Amino acid sequence: MHKTMILSLLLAAQAFAVDIPASSTPIPALPGFGLYGQIWQAVDSNGDAVTMNWTSFAQAKADLNVDGRSPDATFIGGTIDYGSSSFSLVSDWLGADAVSLSPKGFGSRPLRGVYVRLQGSLAIPDTYNSIALPNQSLVFAVTSDDGMRLTIGNQVVAEYDADRSAGTDTTLVVFGGPGLYPITLEYFNGADDGAVLKLGWDILQDQNYTTVPTSLLYPAPEPANWTLVAAGLGLLAFSLNRRR
């Protein structure tokens, strides 16, 4: 079947599809190691995390003054497969990525009343694991409990701007070609009724979703900005290995 016809059928099969213009930024020679994560949390006068009844990103960001103050914690999101249907602490929620959490003590806090933002770049190659990516067209899936918003190449790819139980939204994204694309994944969780955030993709369009590989994620839009971060994380990994 002709490639154009295949792509047309894929687009028709998706309720929502997004075209991303080609990137002029080449994929770095070094593999990625994750996105730069930031967490803001609502607290009471004693500094304890509080439950928030948010119904939108605008409400969550305004209550937390996200645009007017520094985050309460940062981390590197390497494997974005966080949480479960049950309530969890920040360190439990982040899993293996909790090793990069700063300050470390933030990991013992409950994951309630939080806005989380992961930013950086996504590499879209010609092939991945010897599998050709046809016209760089991929299906992305974001699972969240509560709200989420995925932006790639400055275009909103998937969004659920409300409170909800765990649910998944899928979108066919057609990239203009291989390259490095800016990506932002936003999330908010108001109460203790579950906290889930998962970023997956389906490179064969066969509804077999896997977590977006860490090696394709970079914590800044341009390679020049993340080399120092990579060096710092390399020293951290070396230190951790020596302690084992």
- What single letter denotes the amino acid at residue 185? L
Return per-residue pLDDT of the chain as tens, 244 residues: 443 333 444 444 444 689 999 999 999 999 999 999 999 999 999 999 999 999 999 999 999 999 999 999 999 999 999 986 566 799 999 999 999 999 999 999 999 999 999 999 999 998 888 887 756 789 999 999 889 999 999 999 999 999 888 889 999 999 999 999 999 999 999 987 778 999 999 987 778 899 999 999 999 865 555 444 554 444 444 343 343 3
Phi, psi torsion values for 116, nearest 5 degrees: -120, 135
State the CATH number of the domain containing residue 68: 2.60.120.1560
Domain of residue 76 covers 3-243
Burial 12-21 (b: 16+ CB within 10 A, else e): eeeeebbebe
| Domain count along the chain | 1
Which is nearest to 212 in space by CA: 81, 54, 61, 74?
Answer: 81
- What single letter denotes the amino acid at residue 85? S
Phi, psi torsion values for 165, nearest 5 degrees: -75, 170
Quote the pTM value.
0.85
